[in-house]
Amino acid sequence: MALVTICPDCGTAFRVNAAQLQAHNGDVRCGQCQRIFNGFGTLITVSESMLEQPAEFQPHAQNESETSDTDRPVVDHPNEASNEATLTWDPAASESSGQSFEAASSEAWPWEWVAANVLVLLLLIGQIAYVYRTELTILMPEWRPSLERFCILMECEVPYPQSIKQLGIETSDLEKNLSRQPEVTSVSAVIRNYAPFPQALPALQLVLLDAQDQIIASRIFTAKDYFSEHDQALRFIAPQQEIEIQLDFDSSELPALGYRLHLLYP
């Protein structure tokens, strides 16, 4: 197989080799129309048998009088009977060519393009941090302070995770104070967080049952209901920690003999 590149302006085909193209990242100048183009962009491969057919490809000897005054590989003028020419090299002007290729490289990566891509990347990172801020605190809990500062700028919050399956009621009890306040019933419980990360405070569903275990009343209590005033600032359950809660409610019209207590996230 042979390598052939084609001038995008005049369509002239030239046989080349890898060393000629790699000399200056593929930049060559057509000896037919003087167009400077990148030989890699129009590079094709053809079989050697096609090059042996004079009607399509015929090797053309280099004309030394037509070499370029730059250091880019230069394509000789092909004769009228040929669609192929070869690349020639002029090492005398390497210094001037080095300057031109340096300018081309700087144009390939303009600062505006780099700055725009950096900005897009930062916006993408910010969007990911905003959408998955809670998930990030699960994977990397030490990031929470940084995410909370980020949310101050974005006017948002970093919610605590809510994995109800990793919460459990260790103990619970329902009792009436018949001597002091017979109409008030108290429910106490100990809730444990089994997760390796802090979790949001759950809600509690209290279900009261009669003698036949039939539901006679049901109510959902939030953290504001089951915490005392000095515990209202608590926002989460730390990993592998327990909290104690207590509920007091009027049960004077509820002849409850049993109860059920469920944890949930509304």
Least confident of 95-104, 107-116, 151-160, 180-189: 95-104
Dihedral angle computed from the Cα positions of residues 49, 55, 58 and 60, in that order, rounded to the nearest 10 degrees = -170
**DSSP 8-class letter at 103:** H
- Rounded to two decimals, the pTM is 0.48
The three-class DSSP label of residue 185 is strand
- pLDDT at 81 > cutoff 60: no
- Of the pLDDT bands very low, low, confident and very high (cuts 50, 70, 90), residue 80 is very low
pLDDT digits (tens, 9 = 90+) for 124-157: 888 888 888 888 888 888 888 888 888 888 888 8
Residues in Cβ contact with 19 at an 8 Å cutoff, skipping those fewer than 6 apart:
none
Average pLDDT over residues 9-36: 80
- Of the pLDDT bands very low, low, confident and very high (cuts 50, 70, 90), residue 206 is very high
Domains of the chain: 2-107 (no CATH), 111-154 (no CATH), 164-264 (2.70.50.60)
Contact 167, 241 (CB under 8 A): no
- Of the pLDDT bands very low, low, confident and very high (cuts 50, 70, 90), residue 26 is confident
